[in-house]
Amino acid sequence: MATYDFVFSGLGLKDWCNKDGTGSAGPVSMADLMAQSGGKEIPSPSLWDLPFPSMDALHEACAAFPKSRVLTKGLEQGFLEIKDNLSLVLDPLTQPLSWALSGTLSLFQETPWWLMIPLLLAVVMLVSRSVKLVGFVALSFALLSFINYYDYAIQTLAVIFVCAFLCVLVGVPIGIAMSRSDALQRTAIPVLDMLQTLPPFVYLIPLIFLFSVTEPKLYGIAIILYAIVPVVRLTDLGIRLVDKDVIEAADAFGMTNRQKLYKVEIPLALPNIMAGVNQTIMMSLAMVVIASLVSAPGLGVLVLRGIRNLELGVGLVSGLGIVLLAVILDRTTKLALARINAAQRD
């Protein structure tokens, strides 16, 4: 006797449960089978052991009641039915992302190291104005090159460059639009909450069905969706925190909305926007490692190889390389933010 037989009996649904001639799903435990074979009555479960009336527990009492697998299988079938139409729309829209990732990877890899490393050092010096940081970057790339990990590190940088740039390019306007409209903010916040709390691996599941694993846009979209949230949130927050007295002064001078945005609000919100850019870059780097499961190039490939083949040294050294890149990107953006804050105080 199933636990929840009384539910269907009380509702008068026994005929519905027996319409296929199977009745309840029958005993499933060895104890129940032994009790039946011995002619003993199966004891009712105590309140302490009473299972929650889930779909599967109700299915045990009534075979006509669907299992939980029916629900998940329905979702799968529904997705597969609209997959072709989604691909027809999304493929042309996302193809430029594949071109951008492939082109940037080719550019970074084909540029010789003796030109690429000085160029990176010049960019770090221009952004941070820190000789110590430039020295750290030079030492880090010398170490990665010495152990033959330069190609993997430069691939990781190329992917982060494209994805972080697109996150800023798309995220900042969304954040500005949210700061202008309370209704849009209320609509966008649940979506941003979902993107921020969804486990990283879950991003990959629908994308694998929509795009080929060999297409760069597969991991590019996953990285962008995962990393875009901070720059959107902090852009919205930064503009909303601009002093109202400053806005009133700008109105008194007859500034248009466009002038107020570019000459007052964005400059004053720039520290918050740069903090969002910093977090976006860090989250892009984290997702690049996970995206190596779907052919994302870079140091994440070595981490995955270390896990699959139990190569401890490869996993640890590639992890150290990721830490070095994270420190470089974090310190560079933070020093840039410090310079912006100092310029605003002056």
Assess whether 47 and 85 both reside in one domain.
no
Assess whether 60 and 110 both reside in one domain.
no
Q: How large a percentage of the chain has pLDDT more than 90?
A: 56
Query: How confident is the model over 241-266, as pLDDT tens digits?
Result: 999 899 999 989 889 889 999 999 99
Assess whether 34 and 104 both reside in one domain.
no
The average confidence (pLDDT) of the chain is 88
Assess whether 306 and 181 both reside in one domain.
yes
Q: What CATH number should be reported for the domain holding residue 302?
A: 1.10.3720.10
246 part of a folded domain:
yes
Could you tell me the residue range of the domain that residue 175 belongs to? 76-345
pLDDT for res 25: 47
Residue 43, number of CB atoms within 10 A of its CB: 10
pLDDT bucket at 284, cuts 50 / 70 / 90: very high
Assess whether 150 and 60 both reside in one domain.
no
Query: How confident is the model over 222-231, as pLDDT tens digits?
Result: 999 999 999 9
Query: How confident is the model over 287-297, as pLDDT tens digits?
Result: 988 999 888 99
pLDDT bucket at 219, cuts 50 / 70 / 90: very high
Assess whether 249 and 268 both reside in one domain.
yes
Strand, helix or coil at 163? helix
Assess whether 138 and 48 both reside in one domain.
no
322 part of a folded domain:
yes
Among 17, 43, 66, the domain-final residue is 66
pLDDT bucket at 63, cuts 50 / 70 / 90: confident
pLDDT for res 223: 94
328 part of a folded domain:
yes
The 8-class DSSP code of residue 43 comes to: P
* Chain-centroid distance, C-alpha 75: 21
Assess whether 42 and 175 both reside in one domain.
no
pLDDT for res 342: 82
233 has pLDDT over 50: yes
Assess whether 203 and 313 both reside in one domain.
yes
Query: How confident is the model over 95-151, as pLDDT tens digits?
Result: 999 999 999 999 999 999 999 999 999 999 999 889 999 999 999 999 999 999 999
* Mean pLDDT within 176-194: 94
Q: Which two three-digit tokens encode residue 318?
A: 């590639």
pLDDT bucket at 33, cuts 50 / 70 / 90: low
Q: Judge whether 330 and 285 are in contact, CB under 8 Å.
A: no
191 has pLDDT over 50: yes
Number of domains into which the chain is organized: 2
Among 66, 92, 115, the domain-final residue is 66
Q: How large a percentage of the chain has pLDDT more than 70?
A: 91
44 part of a folded domain:
yes
Cα–Cα distances in Å, from 136 out to 22, 115, 146, 316, 324?
A: 72, 18, 15, 20, 9
- Tokens 């139409």 correspond to what residue? 85
29 has pLDDT over 70: no
Q: Which of 208, 200, 198 is nearest to 76 (CA)?
A: 208
pLDDT for res 321: 94
pLDDT bucket at 337, cuts 50 / 70 / 90: confident
262 part of a folded domain:
yes
Quote the pTM value.
0.85
71 part of a folded domain:
no
**Residues 6+ positions from 325 with CB-CB distance below 8 Å:** 140, 153, 156, 157, 160, 285, 299
* Mean pLDDT within 184-191: 95
pLDDT for res 298: 94
pLDDT bucket at 341, cuts 50 / 70 / 90: confident
d(CA 272, CA 239): 9
pLDDT bucket at 39, cuts 50 / 70 / 90: low
27 has pLDDT over 80: no
211 part of a folded domain:
yes
Assess whether 45 and 175 both reside in one domain.
no
pLDDT for res 32: 55
Assess whether 59 and 171 both reside in one domain.
no
Assess whether 133 and 44 both reside in one domain.
no
Query: How confident is the model over 42-54, as pLDDT tens digits?
Result: 556 667 778 888 8
148 part of a folded domain:
yes
Residue 69, number of CB atoms within 10 A of its CB: 11
Q: Judge whether 272 and 237 are in contact, CB under 8 Å.
A: yes
Q: Which of 225, 148, 152, 164 is nearest to 191 (CA)?
A: 225
